[in-house]
Amino acid sequence: MVFYSIYIIAQIIIFVNQVNANPAPNKPLTHEIFQKEIASSHKNKSGYVCKKVEVGLDYCNCVYNGQLPKNFKFPNPDSADFTKIVTMPVCGNPFFDNMKLCSFAHFFNDTYPTNAHKESKHNPMFVILDGCATCSKGGKITGLSLTHFEASGGFFSKCSEEHEYTAIRVGDLGIKMPASKDIDLHTAKITLPAIMQHRQCGNIFNIYEASNKYEEMKLHIEHNCGGTKTTMKINLPTVDINDFKDRVAELRGLLINLDDGTLKQYTRKGNSFQLNNTIAGKWMDPKLKCSTSSSACVLN
């Protein structure tokens, strides 16, 4: 099952390949004005939305039910951690934190994460990943999906075992990949958030409790690199809900070569990044600092 609001966010986020630039010089524009304008022009709507300032220049922010989120503190571009942004490789979105917090606001209904979703029989877990893809002959990414394993509900159940149960799929995309293996500002970037939920399956004799793990996770990338339509499947680490206090996990810096199917990952090392020939064996915890405090939720 996929929450509709998260599906909308995923569609919007994936298309945000443009850079959220600072306001053009000689124009008295402030972030506060833009935030209020975005909220007022999206009443009763939710999502990560953008307002066009001028040709090639957008200002983006998050709205939740027509308002700016109250319990999730978004990074202010005026006082951002510039070291983090400047040293970040171009294989990733510099506004990932904004997109992530927007997704969190929706996942938690803009309330504090403490005990959120713990009573759900489906054991929901929120994950978000990003990275970039290259193709030496050029092409487009046309679809993205995230799947995981679902066990059978038993002999008398209508639920059969599924090794690729779809948590989310976004199709009809047109993310352009330049004809190059270089990693630069033109490289195709993807950011995909998803809510994973287990089915509630059973039979006439038993009702099986949902697992605390999401296993056999895969990222499916539909593309036409070099003119051939195909789908690349990337095996992702297992997620154990018990390892994530707030039920949120992230995987960043994926470098995907669609020519030969190789996969690498950028990871932070001090104030810089290093490129690893394999991806990490586990998802990272973004560590929201609000579960035990009354302040707005912020990222470590």
Q: In what order do the strands lie in the sheet with 272-276?
A: 188-196, 125-134, 248-257, 263-269, 272-276
Domain boundaries, the chain: 4-276
CA atoms within 13 A on the CB side of 51: 19
Q: For residue range 227-261, list pLDDT tens digits in order.
A: 999 999 999 999 999 999 899 999 999 999 999 99
What's the CA dihedral at 182, 16, 12, 131 to 10 degrees? 30
Exposed/middle/buried for 164, CB within 10 Å: 0-12, 13-18, 19+? middle
Are 100 and 141 in contact by the 8 Å Cβ rule? The answer is no
Residue 163 has pLDDT above 80, yes or no: yes
What single letter denotes the amino acid at residue 190? I
Pick 218 or 159 by higher pLDDT: 218
Q: For residue range 184-225, list pLDDT tens digits in order.
A: 888 999 999 999 999 887 666 666 788 999 999 999 999 999
Mean pLDDT of the chain: 81
Q: For residue range 109-156, list pLDDT tens digits in order.
A: 998 888 778 778 889 999 999 999 999 999 999 999 999 999 887 777
SS (HEC) of 7-29: HHHHHHHHHCCCCCCCCCCCCCC
Its pTM stands at 0.82
Instruction: Write out the DSSP string of 264-289.
Output: EEEEEETTEEEEESS--SSPBP--BT
pLDDT at residue number 119: 76
Pick 199 or 164 by higher pLDDT: 164
